[in-house]
Structure 1
């Protein structure tokens, strides 16, 4: 039996990181519960104090096929390299210079949204197609593949 998967990020600013990943992946912020026009209204009705309203956020694939990304506030900052990371498929089917040009263009777009460029790995045929390593605004590494 297949299972749904949610990817959870521990972070300092759930709303900010959710906004970054929504833009990066073409996702959208998850809608508020039924009967509420906004999350602010829902959280107010639930009695969540203002200082706790950025404790969590989530983004979803508008097509409904990709996993939900959930962002939860934690008190500690990132300590070390990620053991699991996302590969953002920015150049599927492309090879060589065309692939690297497409990856560079996407990296440039993501840097304007707050990502940091970390490394470039050149193509090494037959198995290495080439990729870029970036970090999101809170330092979580991910690859442009």
Structure 2
């Protein structure tokens, strides 16, 4: 049996710091301290050549359990549906109206942060309710 490996999730985006800070708010993640020798991330960024400034940003789960999220600037914009997306598990263990109310409350919080609610998928015979959303750059994710 293979050993369990740690992994990070990488997002291609136009504004890495903006997207990273959005996901910090969504997930309760934090921005790591700046590299050694720098008091702030702004100080570090200013030390880089202009073409490298703002090229990436990262955040992590302060408990060390969840994967690191890495955001890298790419020149092209998003043109199609994500092939992979995150499910933000805010309704785990909840069913029916209680689950839907919890999902809608979180949706409202995230819309205030810049997310977009795409559609609400109501429970059926096979699946519980979930909400399809987009982050601040249009990347799809689900509230589940």
Does residue 132 of structure 2 align to residue 133 of structure 1? yes
Q: Is the 8 A contact 2:45 2:54 kept in 1?
A: no
Deviation at 1:51, TM superposition (A): 5.3
Does residue 4 of structure 2 align to residue 2 of structure 1? yes
Deviation at 1:50, TM superposition (A): 4.3
Q: Is the 8 A contact 2:11 2:70 kept in 1?
A: yes
- SS class of match (2:141): strand
Residue number in structure 1 paired with 2:39 = 37
Moved more, 89-98 or 29-38: 29-38
- SS class of match (1:37): coil
Instruction: Render the CA deviation track for 1:15-52: whole Å, top value 9, x for unaligned.
Output: 100010000000011221233221223344xx413453
- SS class of match (1:82): coil
Residue number in structure 2 paired with 1:24 = 26
TM-score by structure 1 length?
Answer: 0.93
- SS class of match (1:29): coil
Residue number in structure 2 paired with 1:82 = 82
- SS class of match (2:63): coil
Structure 1 portions without partners, runs of 5+: none
Distance 2:45 2:132 in 1: 36
> How many residues are treated as equivalent by the alignment?
142
Distance 1:23 1:143 in 2: 15
Distance 1:105 1:118 in 2: 15
